[in-house]
Chain A
């Protein structure tokens, strides 16, 4: 997926929307800040998630990071490849390292997410 095709949260998740289906992952900036990812605690398929509430956890050697749902909905698939190869999140955050797929329940919630340009600006200003 191209970074321009995605929407971003202030907590560094990305969201790819097609209709009421969406894919969620973390940005390249986020994976870089977290360091070597060694474990992903994936969400349960069928579970309901709420916008800005914890959906899963990504862990580096020394820390655990909460991953928040960019919008509300239901988990339809978790990237089980990450159970054996959590480092995919580092190597390919926008492609093979996606975290989960979901069915969006309130599409209007996506309206306040950032586009690629706004996110880049956000990362730049947050660093200073």
Chain B
């Protein structure tokens, strides 16, 4: 592996110091794990874990028409967001696919100031997409992905850490954001994450991110906080039914096919791809992203899936689930009326093993329930 050409986050040295096993992740050098994937997975499910997610991108949209513009490029309703609120959404590509999945945050509704958190590999593509669809809107679009680092603090006990870092965010629920500062530098703290547990994401300039990491490490000690890598990030997100752009969603599959229909707000008057969604709703789906779990054996990405001897699709994402203690996966299946418990077969190393349709999320962590709100 030629590490010379890999992009490094501002936390690279710190991750190494903490024992991170560094790998090439789509051109970024990031830790796949520190002490071990199952240990990190369980720390997040039961206590607290900390991830370097600086590869994620930040696009700022400002101006008089910021809300109207974001409402137009998103499937979800961005216009209704009030100050401090955010929403998960898909950017439909106007054909039968998705440009990216993102989180839109409203920083200042009256002043027209929004922050969109986008995926690492798609930040330039999203930025170009925004620019290309912005004519007629009075907006300024800035891709600031290279200026910010990001730490995800995840797990039920991270509330205790946040009480001593930015307690204001605890007055808000899931998907909310507050603007904050650390050592005089402007930061953003949101109640979001990719693990299915309650938790927070801190976006900050590179020059203070290492100090923030060390601060969390210190505050988190009594709560068993450990640094976590991409390995557990993936097992946690897949158990939670969260989509991975490039695997589970892409330019060739729609939000409905991904079984994320709740994201699409057809009541909105106009947005990119509305006609496609309407048509698909009327005609029905030919494929649907569906979950399965195996009894023995661990399915992996690409494994073919069969129902009654017929191939119905292949797995887009699959792993061993440390929580369920079995193999799990999701795939686009041509049989769209499958119910949890239905028998399937997955081909693992040329052998067909038994599997059953499983409901998604596979596991519902604290992010799915009522979270603590400070008075």
Contact = CB atoms under 8 A, between A and B. Distances in A.
Q: Do A and B bind each other?
A: yes
B312 interface: no
A38 B320 contact: yes
B364 to A, nearest CB: 20
A57 B349 contact: yes
Interface of B: 32-33, 36-39, 41, 231, 234-235, 296-298, 300, 319-320, 322, 327, 349
Interface in A19-62: 35-36, 38-39, 41, 57, 59-62
The 8 nearest A-B residue pairs measured at CB: A61-B37, A36-B38, A38-B320, A61-B320, A39-B298, A36-B36, A59-B298, A62-B231
A41 B37 contact: no
A35 B33 contact: yes
Given A61-B320, A64-B298, A36 B37 contact: yes
Contact of B234 (A39, A57, A60, A62): A62
Contacts of B33: 35
B160 to A, nearest CB: 27
A35 B37 contact: yes
Of the four ranges (under 10, 10 to 19, 20 to 34, 35 or more), the interface on chain A belongs to 10 to 19
A59 to B, nearest CB: 5
B165 to A, nearest CB: 30
Given A60-B37, A61-B235, A62-B231, A39 B349 contact: no
A41 B349 contact: yes
Majority SS at the chain A contact face: strand
B253 to A, nearest CB: 24
B148 to A, nearest CB: 28
Contacts of B235: 61-62
A64 B36 contact: no
Contacts of B36: 35-36
5 contacts: A35-B36, A35-B231, A39-B298, A61-B235, A61-B319
Contacts of A39: 296-298, 320, 327
A62 B319 contact: yes
Contacts of B297: 39, 41
Interface in A78-119: none
A59 B318 CA distance: 13
Nearest to A87: B38
Contacts of A60: 37, 320
B3 to A, nearest CB: 14
Nearest to A90: B36
Contacts of A38: 38, 298, 320, 322
Contacts of A61: 37-38, 41, 231, 235, 319-320, 322
Contacts of A62: 32, 37, 231, 234-235, 319-320
A57 B353 CA distance: 15
B280 to A, nearest CB: 34
A41 B234 CA distance: 23
Contacts of A64: 298, 300, 349
A35 B235 CA distance: 14
Nearest to A59: B298
A50 to B, nearest CB: 17
Contacts of B319: 61-62
Contacts of B327: 39
A60 B296 CA distance: 14
Contacts of B349: 41, 57, 64
Contacts of A59: 298, 320
B30 to A, nearest CB: 14
Nearest to B41: A61
A60 B37 CA distance: 9
Contacts of B32: 62
Contacts of B41: 61
Contacts of A35: 33, 36-37, 231
Nearest to A64: B300
Nearest to B38: A36
A41 B353 CA distance: 12
